[in-house]
Structures are given as C-alpha cells and as structure tokens.
Amino acid sequence: QTHFLSLSLQAKMSRPVQARRLEGIDKNIWVEFVKLATTYSTVNLGQGFPDFPPPDFLKEAFMRAISGENHMLHQYTRAFGHPPLVKILAQLFGKLLGRDLDPMTNVMVTVGAYQALFCCFQAFVDEGDEVIIIEPFFDCYEPMVKMAGGKPVFVPLRPKAPKHGKLMSSADWQLDPAELASKFSERTKAIVLNSPNNPLGKVFSREELQLIADLCVKHDVLCISDEVYEWLVYDGKEHIRIANLQGMWERTVIIGSAGKTFSATGWKVGWTVGPNRLLQHIRTVHQNSVYHCATAAQEAVAQGFQRELELYGKPDSYFVQLPKLLQQKRDWLVQSLDALGMKPIVPEGTYFLVADISEFKSDVPDVPDSDEPYDSRFAKWMVKNKGLAVIPLSTFYCGAHKNNYNHFIRFCFAKEEATLKAANDILQKWKREKTSS
Ligand code: PMP
C-alpha cells in the first residue's frame, strides 16, 4: 500500500493535471455567492430564478409526459431536438422573424441557453480569434470564449446622467459608437449581444442594434444573440430581434431559454435558431458533447409553446401575463429602493434591477488597494450581517474593469410578494439603525 501511495504522489507531482485552456478561469463567482446565500441568507434576491411556480399548464404537460402512455418519452429522442419541440419553435420563430424555418436545420435544442452559448463559441471561435463582449455582461461569456482559445474584447455601456429629477433608466447606459467601431478588426470573429441585458435590464433600441448590425456586416462578423429575456420587456417597449435587420439573418444565432420563458430554470431546456450554414457547426459540437437534452422536459416545453402559439398576443397568454406581473414587481422594488436611498436604475426588461449602494457604504468600510472590488465586499457583508443575498455588479465586468463601476448591486425581482417585502423590511431596518446611530 505504501508503494501505491508513493507512486500516486509521484504521479501527482510529475506533471500538471489541468489543461491549459482552464488557466485563469477556474474561479467562478456563482459558486461563491450561491454558497454564501445558502449559508447566510434569509432572503435571496441573488441568483436569477423565480421563487414562484411555473404555470399550471406547463407542470401538467410535464406530468403527462412522464406518466402518460407514451413510455418512449423516457428514452432518447432526436439528438438535435425532440421533433415536436423543434417543429413548434420553427413555427413560432418563423412568425417572429417573418421567414420560413426548417425545424430540422434552423433550430437546435440545447441544455439551457448556457449550452447553446458554449456550442456557439466552440463551433465558431479559433485560437486567437477576437470576440467582442459588451460590458456589463452575463459572466460566462468570457470564460467560454477563452476556453475556445479566443480573445474577449470588451466594450462598455457608458452611463449618462438621467434627466433632472428622474431616476436613471437602463436606457441611459449606451454604447459609444466610435468606441464600438474601434473594437472591430480583421481578427474579430463574433460579437455577443444580450438584449434584454442581464444585469442592467437594458433593451437595445433599433438604432443601437442597427449600429451593431452595420459593423457586423462591414467586418463580416457573426452575432451571437442571447435573447433569453425576450418576453420580459416593460412599459410597452418592443424587443427587436437583430436577426431581422438587413444582412443579419445569415450571420446571427439566436439563443433562447425555456427556463426564463416559462419560469422553470431547473428544466434546462434552451435552443438556438439560425441559418443552417451556422447551425450545422453547432450541431457538430452538440452531438459530440451533450448529444441531447431530457426528452420529457422537451415534450412539456413543446406543449407549452403550442398553447402560447394558439394564444399569441391574447390576454391569457403567459407571454402577456408574466411581463405584466413582473412589471408590477419591478415598480414596487423601484419605489421601495428609491424611498430607502438605494438609487435604482429602472430596468426596461429582464427580471433584474441594479441599484446604487453609495448611501449604505458607511457600515462597510472600503479597503484601499484591495484586490476585491468594493461592491463584492459589500454584498458579502450584507448577506452575512443582514441575511439579504444580492450579486455585485462587478461580477459582470472583466478582471481589468471590475473597479470601474463598483458601487452597484443587482437584485432579482422574479420573487413572491412576501420575499420582496422581506427584503424591503431588512433594508428599512438597516436604514433606521443607521439613522439612529
Ligand atoms: N444568458 C443569460 C443572459 C442569462 O441570464 C442566463 C441565465 N441566468 C443564461 C443565458 C442561461 O440560461 P439557461 O438557464 O437556460 O441555461
């Protein structure tokens, strides 16, 4: 036994076990913040998932799928997507995009939008290729680009002061056209667009999308368009699909998520929609890694979409009701944070809201020259001492830019009324204690 032990020790020391592609991406903030939330929080507005149930029609569809007569729903299905699901997605997106889509070649089902993203980067990005990412961004884009051997190139949304007396809106965060243009070169392979954007809730306007589209066409660049929050837009705003702009369909992959669409993030059903010239390579990555996503979940999501297609635009549609419900929650949280002096940036879409913590800084002193951005220390302190879990905005910036905007935190408001009230109670009590001390 001693002999084996020394052999394995030797083996351990003789060469690195970690593949080079993992260098610098082994730390993940979600692991840390989810653990902190589980350990300390009484109220969790951190990670982005609803704490209310998915709609009954969806749960019932899943139950029928697993307990019904068709026992084949417990077995493998088509690798690139369960036929009923790709068919209904082709129908729905065909309508939204105003073009005929072939369910077998223009749609592919993935294990959540996460895997769709991973497949895109693996399929399109070569060693040394540059991929433009707009900050703040859903954090997995950066490590996924790096794992594919690519180089992320960041361009920030820059906030401009809101109109006098008005709260800042996510629309006040904008790209500088000249700065964006300067990031495109012959090395640029793709740009990642996320509208509505996590974490700000920004819904890109037609003019902003046109700017991006023109640069993509000019430089022959692909667009990976993460539209997982496509149904969550407020105040009558319109979600515009960049694939619909001139010259963009051929170079765009649309990514979606049933988790966000139907409030069932744990099901991990996502999809890609795009031209076959792009999707054929995504299929290659998918068939050689994941192969396919749970059949019964795909069947249930297909039925959910069937219902939604029939009710499209009608008051009973979940795609009409969910944003209505979430807009009320958003408005409530905006008002309560504003009253507390934690200035909210009013989101136009998604179920996230970013707020300014400057007025709450006094309890959590800054440590000059620390490697950790202030908002991160603040969020950790808050969950440990106040029991309220949120995510620091610096999470959504690359390493070099984490201190550019380090006095904001992100709340998820896809929560029951009682959860939001409990969060408000915590902040109110904290504020009272601060004022009296
Ligand atoms: N993209 C964005 C912008 C997201 O916010 C998320 C989930 N937080 C995903 C992709 C991943 O979606 P899924 O849960 O379907 O994998």
- pLDDT digit string (tens) for 182-213? 999 999 999 999 999 999 999 999 999 999 99
User: Cis (ω within 30 of 0) for the bond into 196?
Assistant: yes
Taking each helix axis as running N to C, give the angle between helix 374-386 and helix 29-40, from 0 to 180 degrees, rounded to the nearest 10.
20
- Mean pLDDT to the nearest integer, 341-353: 97
Question: Which of 29, 135, 138 has most ligand 1 atoms within 8 Å of CB, for mutation?
Answer: 138
Q: Is the pLDDT reported for residue 176 higher than 80?
A: yes
Task: Report which ligand 1 atom has the smallest distance to the Cα of 49.
Answer: 8
Q: Quick one: pLDDT at residue 387?
A: 95
Q: 370 with 376: CB under 8 angstroms?
A: no
Which contacts of 174-179 are long-range, i.e. CB under 8 A and separated by 24 or more positions? 174/208, 175/134, 175/208, 175/211, 175/212, 177/211, 179/155
Q: Quick one: pLDDT at residue 3?
A: 61
DSSP assignment letter at 169: B
| CA gap 144, 164 in Å, rounded | 41
Q: How far is the CA of 61 from the centre of ligand 1 (A)?
A: 23
Q: 232 with 351: CB under 8 angstroms?
A: yes
Q: How far is the CA of 368 from the centre of ligand 1 (A)?
A: 34
Task: Report which ligand 1 atom has the smallest distance to the Cα of 258.
Answer: 15
Q: Quick one: pLDDT at residue 365?
A: 83
Task: Report which ligand 1 atom has the smallest distance to the Cα of 111.
Answer: 16
CATH superfamily of 25-54+318-436: Aspartate Aminotransferase, domain 1 (3.90.1150.10)
Residue of the CA atom closest to atom 8 of ligand 1:
48
Instruction: Tell me the pLDDT band of 45, cut-offs 50, 70 and 90.
Output: very high
Residue of the CA atom closest to atom 10 of ligand 1:
113
Q: How far is the CA of 136 from the centre of ligand 1 (A)?
A: 15
Residue of the CA atom closest to atom 7 of ligand 1:
48
Q: Following DSSP, what letter does each residue of 337-391 receive, concatenated?
A: HHHHT--EEB-SBSSEEEEE-GGGGGGS---TT-SS-HHHHHHHHHHHHH-EE-E
Parallel, antiparallel or unpaired: strands 408-412 and 352-356: antiparallel
- Name the class of domain 56-311: alpha beta
- Mean pLDDT to the nearest integer, 247-272: 98
Which one is predicted more confidently, 110 or 363? 110
Q: How far is the CA of 378 from the centre of ligand 1 (A)?
A: 25
Which one is predicted more confidently, 433 or 271? 271
Q: Is the pLDDT reported for residue 424 higher than 90?
A: yes
Q: Quick one: pLDDT at residue 9?
A: 59
Task: Report which ligand 1 atom has the smallest distance to the Cα of 115.
Answer: 16
| Residues within 6 Å of ligand 1 by CB | 48, 112-114, 138, 194, 198, 226, 228, 257, 259, 265, 270
The closest of 133, 132, 159 to 354, measured between CA atoms, is: 159
Task: Report which ligand 1 atom has the smallest distance to the Cα of 257.
Answer: 15
Q: Is the pLDDT reported for residue 132 higher than 70?
A: yes
Q: How far is the CA of 434 from the centre of ligand 1 (A)?
A: 37
Q: Quick one: what percent of the chain has pLDDT higher than 90? A: 86
Within 10 A of 127 (CB to CB), how many other CB atoms are there? 8
pLDDT in tens, 64-93: 999 999 999 999 999 999 999 999 999 999
Q: Is the pLDDT reported for residue 11 higher than 60?
A: no
Q: Quick one: pLDDT at residue 165?
A: 87
Q: Quick one: pLDDT at residue 151?
A: 97
pLDDT in tens, 215-234: 999 999 999 999 999 999 99
Domain boundaries, the chain: 25-54+318-436, 56-311
Question: Which of 108, 110, 114 has most ligand 1 atoms within 8 Å of CB, for mutation?
Answer: 114
Q: How far is the CA of 111 from the centre of ligand 1 (A)?
A: 11
The overall average pLDDT reported for the chain is 95
Kindly report the backbone phi and psi dihedral angles of residue 405, in degrees, each rounded to the nearest multiple of 5, phi listed first: -135, 80
Q: Is the pLDDT reported for residue 1 higher than 60?
A: no
> What's the pTM?
0.95
- Mean pLDDT to the nearest integer, 278-292: 97
Q: Quick one: what percent of the chain has pLDDT higher than 70? A: 97
Q: Is 317 helix (H, G, I), strand (E, B) or coil?
A: coil
Q: Is the pLDDT reported for residue 280 higher than 90?
A: yes
Q: Is residue 144 packed enough to be buried (19+ CB in 10 Å), middle (13-18) or exposed (0-12)?
A: buried
**Residue 136: partners with Cβ closer than 8 Å, 6 or more residues away:** 156, 157, 197, 199, 200, 393, 396, 397, 405
Q: How far is the CA of 201 from the centre of ligand 1 (A)?
A: 13
The closest of 386, 380, 369 to 409, measured between CA atoms, is: 380
**Residue 374: partners with Cβ closer than 8 Å, 6 or more residues away:** 361, 366, 403, 406, 407
Beta bridge partners of 408: 356
Q: How far is the CA of 122 from the centre of ligand 1 (A)?
A: 17
Q: How far is the CA of 66 from the centre of ligand 1 (A)?
A: 26
Task: Report which ligand 1 atom has the smallest distance to the Cα of 117.
Answer: 10
The closest of 417, 196, 231 to 321, measured between CA atoms, is: 231
| CA gap 189, 150 in Å, rounded | 9
Residue of the CA atom closest to atom 12 of ligand 1:
113
Q: How far is the CA of 16 from the centre of ligand 1 (A)?
A: 32
Token pair for 235: 């105040």
